[in-house]
Amino acid sequence: MSEAAVISRAAANGNPGLAGAVLIIDDEAEIRESLQTLLELEGFAVETAASGEAGLQRIGEHPFDLILLDLTLPGRNGMEVLAEIRAHGTGLPVIMITAFGTVENAVRAMQGGAANFVQKPWDNEKLWPTFAPRWDGAAPQKKTSN
């Protein structure tokens, strides 16, 4: 988290836990946990998967509003998983996340149907605008010190 404390928009509006459902597919436990914490503080229901196969299985079992998908995964890579998601005709938004943020990778991901492309490591305050358009468009609220 940034130095500012985050207040959940859903809780502030009297609707805790109703912000949306997000699936994080990343083979790095630290990344999954960091994103899960960030999103849960914002009121999202979050599930995680450590591989593309596990992620595809979860997509078949539960409805999601957004998927955060790592580009480099063991077995099927993120581009293959993205293609599988798109092959099922779903408009489910997918944001690609990667430590290999080349222009070529970003273009390939966007051409493959990704909604956005985020490079690791990220700044949480800059990451939020990639999620916000799916919901209310508001940035996380900060507590101000008096």
Residue 74 covered by a domain: yes
pLDDT tens digits for range 1-24: 222 233 333 434 444 445 789 999
Full residue range of the structural domain in which residue 118 is found = 18-133
CA dihedral sign of residues 11, 17, 19, 24: positive
Confidence of residue 137 (pLDDT cuts 50, 70, 90): very low
* Number of domains observed in the structure of the chain: 1
Residue 11 covered by a domain: no
Residue 65 covered by a domain: yes
pLDDT tens digits for range 33-76: 999 998 898 888 999 999 999 999 999 998 999 999 999 999 89
Q: What is the pLDDT of residue 116?
A: 86
What is the average per-residue pLDDT within 81-103? 87
Task: Quote the pTM value.
Answer: 0.77
Residue 5 covered by a domain: no
Residue 115 covered by a domain: yes
Q: Can you read off the two tokens belonging to residue 126?
A: 């800059």
CA dihedral sign of residues 77, 19, 115, 37: negative
Q: Is the preceding omega at residue 74 within 30 degrees of 0, hence cis? A: no
Residue 128 covered by a domain: yes
- List the CATH number of the domain containing 24: 3.40.50.2300
Percentage of the chain exceeding pLDDT 90: 40
Residue 36 covered by a domain: yes
